[in-house]
């Protein structure tokens, strides 16, 4: 980072470099904060004159990626669970399979086989296979568990990387950060896109990330609408295709399918040189689990009036359970840690502006041909 601070060739690339410029020395806390500001666009690697084969062999994306993974382990919670980040793909697969197995077994034991494999139509059809309380109680508990763990560990992360916890409640900083996140500001490479999966500039990674992000929000909105339909309008699921819960859930599910499939494809084609090898399983495991959850949800929509509904419902709910359980111990933590880092970045830059009267203008992005 001292080499980068002296050079500043990558000044306008992303949030890492303006944050770096506020420092002359770099503590362990500073470096972990900067690692979580990095969006792995890799522009600094391909533009760097000190990258391999230079004798400095500077590889900032890989170094920050390795350190980012270390922060996931450090701030994950109980020591016994930290190793989950080292075996994330296998862990996600095992937990998802266990969730599917347990839900299918419970339904099999509690329900008559004719009910499980039968066709069910009309309001409350899902609850004839799996009672309403069996859906609400366990999944509410899992959701609360995931939110509690993520919220608590994010506060620990913020303090552990040198931030003031009060900044996380700063309304102005949060509003600006939310705007940056909704636009995925730091995935546009200053307007040219990421150098991903190779040295060429492209927006494709940003588009796939936006598909996953907005698809997730649409599915959350669909679930919220279904809650209101059931509890306030006395309209139990399943709902007609053009109802708000189904329309939002369908659009969200399709967006997640496209986004996760695209990200998995890019991951298999990416240049390995600037990649953190330890993060590969973490990324793939989360993307595959999210893809399968959306895939089974859409399958349940298509075949809900057929005898396949029971097995598809159990399969989908098992995958959702696996997703909730692994959220605090998988790739999903990058979303909340990065958000917290961006809030701190906003606060720091606002403080710099308050002192000088204006923020420094980032340098123009300069294109270099690869040697």
Q: Contact, 195 vs 46, CB < 8 A?
A: yes
Instruction: Find the length of the chain.
Output: 371
Q: Quickly list H helices, the chain.
A: 2-7, 16-20, 28-37, 43-47, 60-74, 88-110, 113-116, 125-129, 132-160, 171-183, 204-232, 244-269, 280-302, 309-326, 333-356
Gap between the Cα atoms of 110 and 131, Å rounded: 10
Contacts of 47 by beta carbon, 8 Å cutoff, 6+ apart:
9, 10, 13, 366, 368
pLDDT at position 166:
87
Gap between the Cα atoms of 342 and 332, Å rounded: 16
Structure tokens at 76: 């994950």
pLDDT at position 61:
96
| 194-195 vs 201-202, strand pairing mode | antiparallel
> What is the per-residue pLDDT across 213-222, written as a single tens digit (0 to 9) for each?
999 999 999 9
**273: DSSP letter:** T
Question: What is 144-206 written as a DSSP string?
Answer: HHHHHHHHHHHHHHHHHTT--GGGGG-HHHHHHHHHHHHHTGGGSGGGT-EE-SSSSEESHHH
pLDDT at position 367:
37
Cis peptide bond upstream of 111, omega within 30: no
Structure tokens at 252: 């969200």
**234: DSSP letter:** -
Domain range list for the chain: 83-355
pLDDT, tens digit only, all 371 positions of the chain? 999 999 999 988 889 999 999 999 999 999 999 999 999 999 999 999 999 999 999 999 999 999 999 999 899 877 666 666 666 677 778 888 888 888 888 888 887 888 888 888 888 899 999 888 888 899 999 999 999 999 999 999 999 999 998 899 999 999 999 999 999 998 887 778 899 999 999 999 999 999 999 999 999 999 999 999 998 999 999 999 999 999 999 999 999 999 999 999 999 999 999 999 888 888 998 999 999 999 999 999 999 999 999 999 999 999 999 899 888 888 899 999 999 999 999 999 988 755 544 444 333 333 333 33
pLDDT at position 83:
66
pLDDT at position 357:
44
Give the burial string for 244-255 (b: 16+ CB within 10 Å, else e): ebbbbbbbbbeb
Q: Contact, 184 vs 210, CB < 8 A?
A: yes
pLDDT at position 18:
94
* pTM of structure: 0.90
> What is the per-residue pLDDT across 264-316, written as a single tens digit (0 to 9) for each?
999 999 999 999 988 888 899 899 999 999 999 999 999 999 999 999 999 99
């Amino acid at each position: 980072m001292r080499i980068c601070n002296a050079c500043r060739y990558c000044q306008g690339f992303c949030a890492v470099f303006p944050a770096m410029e506020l420092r002359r020395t770099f503590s362990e806390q500073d470096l972990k904060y900067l690692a979580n500001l990095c969006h792995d666009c890799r522009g600094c690697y391909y533009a760097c004159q000190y990258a391999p084969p230079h004798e400095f062999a500077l590889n900032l994306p890989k170094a920050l990626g390795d350190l980012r993974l270390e922060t996931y382990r450090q701030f994950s919670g109980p020591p016994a669970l930290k190793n989950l980040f080292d075996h994330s793909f296998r862990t996600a697969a095992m937990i998802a399979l266990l969730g599917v197995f347990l839900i299918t077994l419970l339904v099999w034991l509690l329900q008559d086989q004719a009910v499980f494999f039968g066709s069910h139509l009309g309001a409350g059809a899902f609850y004839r296979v799996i009672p309403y309380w069996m859906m609400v109680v366990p999944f509410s508990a899992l959701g609360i568990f995931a939110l509690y763990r993520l919220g608590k560990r994010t506060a620990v992360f913020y303090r552990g990387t040198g931030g003031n916890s009060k900044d996380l409640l700063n309304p102005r900083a949060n509003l600006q950060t939310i705007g940056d996140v909704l636009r995925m500001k730091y995935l546009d490479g200053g307007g040219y896109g990421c150098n991903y999966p190779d040295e060429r500039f492209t927006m494709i990674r940003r588009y796939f990330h936006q598909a996953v992000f907005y698809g997730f929000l649409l599915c959350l909105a669909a679930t919220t609408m279904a809650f209101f339909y059931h509890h306030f309008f006395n309209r139990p699921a399943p709902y007609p295709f053009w109802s708000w819960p189904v329309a939002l859930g369908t659009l969200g599910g399709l967006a997640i399918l496209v986004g996760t499939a695209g990200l998995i494809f890019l991951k298999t084609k990416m240049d390995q040189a600037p990649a953190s090898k330890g993060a590969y399983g973490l990324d793939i495991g989360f993307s595959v689990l999210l893809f399968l959850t959306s895939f089974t949800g859409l399958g349940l929509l298509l075949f809900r009036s057929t005898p396949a509904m029971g097995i598809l419902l159990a399969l989908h709910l098992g995958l959702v359970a696996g997703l909730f359980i692994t959220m605090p111990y998988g790739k999903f933590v990058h979303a909340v840690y990065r958000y917290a880092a961006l809030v701190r970045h906003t606060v720091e830059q606002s403080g710099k502006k308050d002192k000088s009267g204006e923020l420094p203008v980032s340098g123009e992005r300069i294109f270099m041909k690869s040697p």
